[in-house]
A and B are shown apart, each in its own frame.
Chain A
Amino acid sequence: MTDTVLSVRDLRVEFHTRRGVLKAIDGVSFDIAKGEVLGVVGESGAGKSVTGSAVIGLIDPPGRIAGGEILLSGQRIDNLPPEQMRKVRGKRIGMIFQDPLTSLNPLYRISEQLIETITTHTDLSPSQARTRAIELLAEVGIPAPDRRIDSYPHEFSGGMRQRVVIALALCAEPELIIADEPTTALDVSVQAQIITLLKRLGREHGTAIMLVTHDMGVIAETADRVAVMYAGRVAEIGPVHDVVRNPLHPYAEGLMGAIPTLAGEEARLVQIPGSMPRLTRIPPGCAFNPRCGYRFGRCTVDRPDPLPWRGHKVACHLYDPASGPHFLGEGRTLAAAEKHEEATA
């Protein structure tokens, strides 16, 4: 596994509140390879952003990493002292947030911010750094970068600002970029430009990208693989085309059906009953079981582990041979599970 950039193993993040311990992330594992874009998708409260924050070591109290490991190119980073972690964050992990203004200091010209980041993390002299910064701005598609570089953040439009943030994230040639809802605050037409840019840069620089978003459309177009999160756990992880077209986990199936598309015009959208449980009320067994149409006895008792299945990993008892008659063997799909349910009901 030489080209695995990020490896998250059984990560658990807890928040200690006066009402008890909330498990925001409960046993999440995934890898991201060099040059790969992993989409992390889920609804609010699924734990996707917390996962991103855990990787960059920015979980604020009362939250803390309660277990598991995070490896960056084979080196453990979840237990580094804050000072060292800060260096890793600047140099080896780049960050792009939803609001570009959180990453840019409004009081400094972007040239100063870019040059400072470059000189901190590389051996370049300030004048070389300036040349490099102009190159980067050109690369992220800012017109006339040699003139625009001395502007202040507020002189850019929203889309241009997000491009500057991407340039800033790329300064130190990081191995990994965490992009948390990078396009959510942007207009549709600008969104598309940023998606294209992210995808191209990841490919060209061989940077691994963890793309956290609630927008399945963005994931479908950008990511190579996707992890669908639900109530702090990974429900399904697999190649993005497969998960979009042929989701295995009942939650993923419902989610894909719930998204209105430009091509489809079916009268009703698929509707998952209910809503995601609050972290204080995660049911025992499979977290999705109260909303699941394929539920059977085991689901309310055993918690399913993600098991490999046709190139995916699925955390669902339907894909576990130990489930006996409920097991969806080779060639049997969720539709078969439904028929089975009807027959036994």
Chain B
Amino acid sequence: MPEETTDHARPVVDTAHGPRTGDVIATPAARLGVLARAWDSDIAFSFRRSPVTIVSAAVALVMILAAVLAPWITPQDPFDAASLNMMDGFTPPGEPNAFTGNVYMFGTDPQGRDMYSAVLHGARVSLVVGLASVAFSLTVGVTLGLVAGYLGGRTEAVIMRVADVQLSFPAILIALLVFGIARGVIPPAQQEQATLFVLIFAIGISNWAQYARTVRATTLVEKSKVYVDAARLIGLKPFVVMVKHVLPNVTGPVLVIATINLALAIIEEATLSFLGAGMPPTQPSLGTLIRSGQQFLFSGEWWILFFPALALVLLALSINLLGDWLRDALNPKLR
């Protein structure tokens, strides 16, 4: 046999690198930039193929942007009582006010607060609570799940039994319980400012168990793969192996749960605020707005309830649909 086989000193290279026939072997993607490659990836492809996902992503993006930019794109600061004009109260959407002649797209509430401004600022509060509580439960859940899965034994048994017990209660009940305890512990003077943090903690702590369960299961699978053995062979400590090798491989499922949980956390926050165990009316979230709006539903001022509720539904639904798509796209077996 010619060259390659007789040339013992130089081990043979697989065709993927061989310049033998560059015309057939070069991959088109290799020449493209990072953006083009991302566009060409399987995830991007499955995104492009799903109209529901594209619409959800667009809705979620617009709402999140609007919430973030709220102070700059709204005509009014709804929290600043001085800027409100009682004369503007109960203006129906799109119609001029009987006294002042002002027109409000989403109408106004009894205090003359512009509902458009209120909804955007409310969505901002809801998103902050949602994101922060997801970050909190994610950190707690992933850490405990990783530790349980990697160490096993008694540590695992304790963590997972606690998770089981917690999962047998509805999350909202746990959040209410935490909120109630916080009420009792924190001095009344600081309660108002502390509400935001209490809410984040309450929602976050009620959701960690899901992360822990999933991460533990994924860790068990990854731990049995031999690349973990290879890392142990060079004498790495269990903690290092866990963080450097196992953790990056459990991010997929965690991302899916985090997305879906974001929608749930926003709804949970709204539920708590609606029940009065949430954001105060001085710093309203979507839930608080719905709570104050529902009393006007039967007196004809429907818009005070309708727009915050619509915003909540759109936000939660679009994020949830994105999470669903992400779950399918990251699971090759379903494709």
A residues lining the B interface (CB < 8 Å) = 18, 254, 268, 270-275, 277, 281-284, 289-291, 293-294, 300, 338, 341-342
Contact partners of A272 in chain B: CB under 8 A: 5
Is the pair B4, A271 in contact by a Cβ cutoff of 8 Å? yes
Chain B 23-51 near chain A by CB (<8 Å), digits 1 or 0? 11101000000000000000001000000
**Given the contacts A18-B45, A274-B12, A274-B14, A338 and B1 also touching, CB distance less than 8 Å:** yes
Is the pair B24, A274 in contact by a Cβ cutoff of 8 Å? no
**Max chain A Cβ within 10 angstroms of own Cβ: one of B4, B5, B13, B25:** B5
Q: For the complex, is B15 an interface residue (Cβ under 8 Å from A)?
A: yes
**Max chain A Cβ within 10 angstroms of own Cβ: one of B1, B16, B23, B27:** B1
Q: Measured between alpha carbons, how far is A18 from B14 in the docked complex, in Å?
A: 26
Is the pair B4, A293 in contact by a Cβ cutoff of 8 Å? yes
Q: Measured between alpha carbons, how far is A268 from B24 in the docked complex, in Å?
A: 30
B residues lining the A interface (CB < 8 Å) = 1-5, 8, 12-16, 18, 20-21, 23-25, 27, 45
Is the pair B12, A289 in contact by a Cβ cutoff of 8 Å? no
Contact of A277 among B4, B23, B24 (CB under 8 A): B24
Is the pair B1, A277 in contact by a Cβ cutoff of 8 Å? no
Contact partners of A268 in chain B: CB under 8 A: 8
B15 (CB) vs chain A CBs: closest residue: A274
Contact partners of A274 in chain B: CB under 8 A: 12-15, 18, 20
B27 (CB) vs chain A CBs: closest residue: A281
Q: Measured between alpha carbons, how far is A289 from B18 in the docked complex, in Å?
A: 13
Is the pair A273, B21 in contact by a Cβ cutoff of 8 Å? no
A330 to chain B, nearest CB (A): 23
Q: Measured between alpha carbons, how far is A129 from B18 in the docked complex, in Å?
A: 60
Q: Measured between alpha carbons, how far is A291 from B4 in the docked complex, in Å?
A: 9
**Given the contacts A18-B45, A271-B12, A290 and B25 also touching, CB distance less than 8 Å:** yes
Is the pair A338, B2 in contact by a Cβ cutoff of 8 Å? yes
Is the pair A341, B2 in contact by a Cβ cutoff of 8 Å? yes
Q: Measured between alpha carbons, how far is A281 from B27 in the docked complex, in Å?
A: 9
Q: Measured between alpha carbons, how far is A156 from B125 in the docked complex, in Å?
A: 63
Q: Measured between alpha carbons, how far is A252 from B113 in the docked complex, in Å?
A: 83
Is the pair A270, B1 in contact by a Cβ cutoff of 8 Å? yes
Is the pair B1, A283 in contact by a Cβ cutoff of 8 Å? no
Is the pair B15, A291 in contact by a Cβ cutoff of 8 Å? yes
Contact of A270 among B2, B5, B16 (CB under 8 A): B5
Q: Measured between alpha carbons, how far is A273 from B24 in the docked complex, in Å?
A: 16
Q: Measured between alpha carbons, how far is A284 from B21 in the docked complex, in Å?
A: 10
Contact partners of A281 in chain B: CB under 8 A: 24-25, 27
Is the pair B18, A290 in contact by a Cβ cutoff of 8 Å? yes
Is the pair A293, B25 in contact by a Cβ cutoff of 8 Å? no
B24 (CB) vs chain A CBs: closest residue: A283
Q: Measured between alpha carbons, how far is A283 from B20 in the docked complex, in Å?
A: 11
Would you list the 5 A-B pairs with minimal beta carbon distance, nearest first?
A274-B15, A273-B4, A293-B2, A273-B12, A283-B24
Is the pair A290, B1 in contact by a Cβ cutoff of 8 Å? no
Q: Measured between alpha carbons, how far is A274 from B4 in the docked complex, in Å?
A: 10
Contact partners of A300 in chain B: CB under 8 A: 21
Contact partners of B2 in chain A: CB under 8 A: 293-294, 338, 341-342
Is the pair A289, B4 in contact by a Cβ cutoff of 8 Å? no
Is the pair A293, B14 in contact by a Cβ cutoff of 8 Å? no
Q: Measured between alpha carbons, how far is A300 from B20 in the docked complex, in Å?
A: 11
B49 (CB) vs chain A CBs: closest residue: A18
B3 (CB) vs chain A CBs: closest residue: A293
Contact partners of B18 in chain A: CB under 8 A: 273-274, 290
B26 (CB) vs chain A CBs: closest residue: A281
**Given the contacts A18-B45, A281-B25, A290 and B15 also touching, CB distance less than 8 Å:** yes
Contact partners of B3 in chain A: CB under 8 A: 293
Is the pair B5, A273 in contact by a Cβ cutoff of 8 Å? yes
Q: Measured between alpha carbons, how far is A18 from B8 in the docked complex, in Å?
A: 41
A284 (CB) vs chain B CBs: closest residue: B24
Contact partners of A271 in chain B: CB under 8 A: 4-5, 12
Q: Measured between alpha carbons, how far is A342 from B16 in the docked complex, in Å?
A: 26
Contact partners of B15 in chain A: CB under 8 A: 273-275, 277, 290-291
Q: Measured between alpha carbons, how far is A293 from B15 in the docked complex, in Å?
A: 14
B4 to chain A, nearest CB (A): 4
Name 12 interchain pairs, CB-CB below 8 A, sorted by A: A254-B1, A270-B5, A273-B5, A274-B15, A275-B14, A281-B27, A282-B24, A283-B25, A284-B24, A289-B21, A293-B5, A338-B2
Is the pair A293, B8 in contact by a Cβ cutoff of 8 Å? no
8 further A-B contacts with Cβ under 8 Å, apart from A274-B14, A293-B1, are: A273-B4, A273-B13, A273-B15, A274-B15, A275-B14, A283-B24, A290-B25, A294-B2
B40 (CB) vs chain A CBs: closest residue: A19
Contact partners of A341 in chain B: CB under 8 A: 2
Contact partners of A290 in chain B: CB under 8 A: 15, 18, 20-21, 24-25
Q: Measured between alpha carbons, how far is A315 from B45 in the docked complex, in Å?
A: 39
Q: Measured between alpha carbons, how far is A268 from B5 in the docked complex, in Å?
A: 10
Q: Measured between alpha carbons, how far is A342 from B2 in the docked complex, in Å?
A: 8
B22 to chain A, nearest CB (A): 10
Contact partners of A289 in chain B: CB under 8 A: 21
Q: Measured between alpha carbons, how far is A290 from B16 in the docked complex, in Å?
A: 11
B290 to chain A, nearest CB (A): 44
